[in-house]
Structure 1
Amino acid sequence: MAHPTHERGITTLTLDSPHNRNALSAPLVHELADALKRCGKDDGVRAVVLTHTGNTFSAGADLRDPPQPKALAALLRQIVRLRKPVVARVTGHVRAGGLGLLGACDIAVAAGTATFAFTEVRVGVAPALISLPLLPRVDPRALARYYLTGETFGPAEAARIGLLTAAGDHADVDEVLAPVLDGLRRAAPHALAETKKLLTAKVLEAFDLDAGELARLSTRLFASADAREGMTAFLERRDPAWVL
C-alpha cells in the first residue's frame, strides 16, 4: 500500500501493488487491516477513502499468495464495523474479491471507465466470503445473474443494482466524490458513528451467522480439482477444460 494521506479529516488509503493489479494477497490484506485499525483509533480521522493506483482497483484474490479465508472475512468485517465511514473511490477495473471491498464500504463511487465482474465461477470457485457484505446490499436478481455467469458490466449497471452509490461520466469520479466528502466533513463524528451502526446492523448479522460456514466453503472450493484447473488455466491464459 502507498503511504496514507490526510486532508481536512479525510484519510486516503491507496492500494498500490501494480505487479498483481492490487490483488488481495496475504500481505496486502494485513497492511490494509493495520491501516484501518490506525484510522479507527485516530480522532482526527472523520472518514476513510479507499482508492488505488493503476487501472485496477483490485483483481480479486491473489492466486499465488492468497489470504487465509478468515483473514479476508475479518478485513471485510473490519470495514463494516469501523466507526468511521469508508468510501471507495474507483477509477479502474474491479474483479471477484475486490467487489467484496466495495460491498463492505459505506459509500462507493466509480468513474465511467470502471468495469466489474464476479469471475469466481470461471476459475472454479464461488463468491463465498464476499457475499457477507454484498447479499444484504445488492439487488438479488442482479447478483444471481452476475454471480452465475461471470459477465462484465459497467458502472451505470453497478449503481442500478446497488453495488455502487454513484457513477461519474468518463473519468470524473472526483466530481461525484466532492459533495460526499463535504457532507462527511460537516457531520458530527459521534452522529456519524451511530448512524453507520444503524446502517450496518443487518450486514454484521450476516457475518455473525455465516462467516464461519462461508470460510469453510471457500477453503474447500479453493482446494478442489476445478479450482486447480481454473487457476492454472487463468495463469496460462487459456480456457479451462470445462468450457464448451
Structure 2
Amino acid sequence: MHADSIAIVMPAYNESDGILVFLEEIRDAFAGVDHEVIVVDDCSADGTADIIDAWSAEASSGTRVIRSAPNAGHGPTTVKALRAGLGTGRDIILAVDGDGQFRADEMLEVCTVLSASRADVVEGVRTHRDDPLFRRATSAATRVLVRLRSHRGPQDANTPLRAYRPGALRTMLDLLPDDAMTPNLVISAQSRRKHFMIIEMPVESLDRRGLTPSGTTWGQRRRNLPTKRFVRFCLGAARQWLGPGPGKRR
C-alpha cells in the first residue's frame, strides 16, 4: 500500500464524453491509497463540471470540481490546479490533464517512484505517441527551448504528467504567474535551473478518452494540419517565453 497521501490535480475543458471513464480508472487504481482528485473545469460548454459533480456524489469518489470562469485556457487552468493541489497539504501532488491520455496504474507508479526516491519531481516521458508531423516538430522545438534556458535537455519538455514534492512545487509556483501559457515548459526549464533531482520515467501515451481523439481545444478537423487557433497559441506562447514573462524568471 502506498504510504504517502496524494492530490491528483487536472485541468479540464469540454471533456464530458470521456472524463468519467478516466476518473473511474483512477478510483480503481488508487483504491486503498489516501488520495483526492481535484478537477479544475475551464468554463466548459458541455457540462463537464456538472457531470463530474453528479458522478462524484453518487460514487463517493473523493473527487471535487473547481469551476473556473471565464475561460482562461489550458496554461492558467493548469496553474490553478497546481495551486489547489499544493493547498491540500498532501505529500505528493500528481498533475495530469483531464483528457485521460495516461493509464491510471502508471500514474500511481509515477507517485511510487517519487515516494521511494529522493527526487523532487518525477516526469512521465510519453512513449508510443502517434502525433502528426507538426506536433512532432513542436515537441522538438520545446525541448530545444528548455535546453537553451536550463542547459539540461528533458526527454519530454511539455509532459503534463508529473509528480511533485510540495517544496519543489511551491518553488515552481513562485515562478509562475497566473496567466502562464506554457507552465509545463517553464517548470521543465526552472526545475533544471534550480538543480532539482528529476527522474524521467517512460509512460504510455494513449488516445484521448472520449468520442474524438483530438477533443475540442484546437478545433482540429484535419489531423495532419495545424489549426489557426493552434498557430495563434504557439505565436503567443513564443512571445511570452522570449519576453520578460515566466520563462525568464529566476
Q: TM-score, normalised by structure 2?
A: 0.29
When you count helix as a share of all residues, which structure comes out higher? Answer: 1
Q: TM-score, normalised by structure 1?
A: 0.29
**Higher RCO (C-alpha 8 Å, min separation 6):** 2
